Structure 1
Amino acid sequence: MSEKVKNNINPIYLVLIFFIMLGLSYASVPLYELFCKVTGFGGTPKTSKQAPNVVIDHNIVTRFDTNVSKGLFWEFKAEKNKENIKVGQVSTIKFTVKNLGNETSTAVSTFNVVPDSAGKYFNKISCFCFEQQTLKPKESMDFVMAYFIDPKIVEDLSSKEIKDITLSYTFFDVANYKKVNN
């Protein structure tokens, strides 16, 4: 005689699986952002508290790209468009932002590094990104970013030939951002 296999799934397990999947879907964005910050995946620069102890005689040109999202009447410029630094050397760059509009506005800057493979080696010591900045009409503000390129970049097969890195910043209007994401 053949034995019948009873295949019942307890409804409690289905509800539990549903809530686990729901929780994972909500946690996926912050977990992905954390993963990118830690690993530099997708061109996300890492944040570091201190500079490396070694400077290598290997130059890389760092380019600075500044952008302002549509509808934000700000002018955003880097002190210089590019600089040539040695790997491991700490460099500081000044950015200036001016509100060209007639109203007070608040914006947040985001950033990215190209090529993506350089992201995990591009380290910021100080930065103004992801912080809300409010400017009154015609007001200007200066921001300073300190960074270095980790000496391990020359050991990695996917990045050791990199000669140019572009750091791109974009300011987004907080009011428009909230409208889009609500």
Structure 2
Amino acid sequence: MEPVIDPKSDSNDVRRKTKAEQDKANSKLAIKMIWVAAGSLLFAFALVPLYDVLCSITGLNGKTDNNAATLNKAKVDESRSVTVQFTAAVMPGLGWNFYPKQTSITLHPGQIETVLFEAKNITSQIVTGQAIPSVTPGVASVYLKKIECFCFVNQSLKPGETKIMPLRFFIDPAIPKDVSEMTLSYSFFEAAKK
């Protein structure tokens, strides 16, 4: 007489092995996913400064040279003019009105000019904003030299407060001859709370 094999006992052993193996595989996968999430977070935080460096080197996305040490040492090129148009925007959630006091200015390369922007806090609380500049066409951004700008530091406004903010700048005379117009845009974002 042959021994009777209980099919349930073998399948239970197989299931136990399979469950143990599955639990181990799940643990490995969970650890890998945690590493991927942590790596993604670190990469995201590193992108902002890397992007700023890339943009300041290449002039990509209209980032300008904000170094006040680049004061105008060149002579004014009176043989040509460049028109600079100004635009302003406030990002949602800031609670400000913000606009340039003049929409454009025509100047000679090398000529130092000052234009004014006005910001008003229309909320009932203190709000701090950060202005981000952008220049188009992108090739012109490296020739726009700011001496003084409200975009260098965060700006805080009390409830209902209005502030006149100056921008003092010049256009480098080395700007390509085919660039006779450019647009300087400022977008105000709510500054990160510390």
Q: What's the TM-score once normalised by structure 1's chain length?
A: 0.74
Instruction: Label 1:28 to 1:98 Cα distance change in 2 as closer, same or farther (>3 A).
Output: closer
Instruction: Label 1:99 to 1:83 Cα distance change in 2 as closer, same or farther (>3 A).
Output: same
In structure 2, stretches of 5+ residues that fail to align are 1-38
Secondary structure of 1:151's match? coil
1:142 aligns with 2:161: no
Secondary structure of 1:30's match? helix
Aligned to 2:3: none
Aligned to 1:92: 114
After superposition, the CA RMSD in angstroms is: 2.2
Aligned to 2:73: 52
For residue 96 of structure 2, the aligned residue among 74, 99, 109 is 74
Q: What's the TM-score once normalised by structure 2's chain length?
A: 0.70
1:114 aligns with 2:136: yes
Which structure shows the higher strand fraction? 1
Q: Tell me, yes or no, if the aligned pair for 1:113 and 1:167 is still in contact at 8 Å.
A: yes
1:132 aligns with 2:154: yes
Q: Percent identity?
A: 35
Q: Tell me, yes or no, if the aligned pair for 1:87 and 1:150 is still in contact at 8 Å.
A: yes
Structure 1 segments of 4+ aligned residues over 3 angstroms from their partners: 24-29
State the Cα distance separating 1:78 from its structure 2 match.
1.2
Instruction: Label 1:161 to 1:172 Cα distance change in 2 as closer, same or farther (>3 A).
Output: same
Which structure shows the higher helix fraction? 2
Larger Rg over CA atoms: 2
Aligned to 1:31: 50
* Cα distance in 2, alignment partners of residues 28 and 171 from structure 1: 21
State the Cα distance separating 1:28 from its structure 2 match.
4.5
* Cα distance in 1, alignment partners of residues 73 and 58 from structure 2: 17
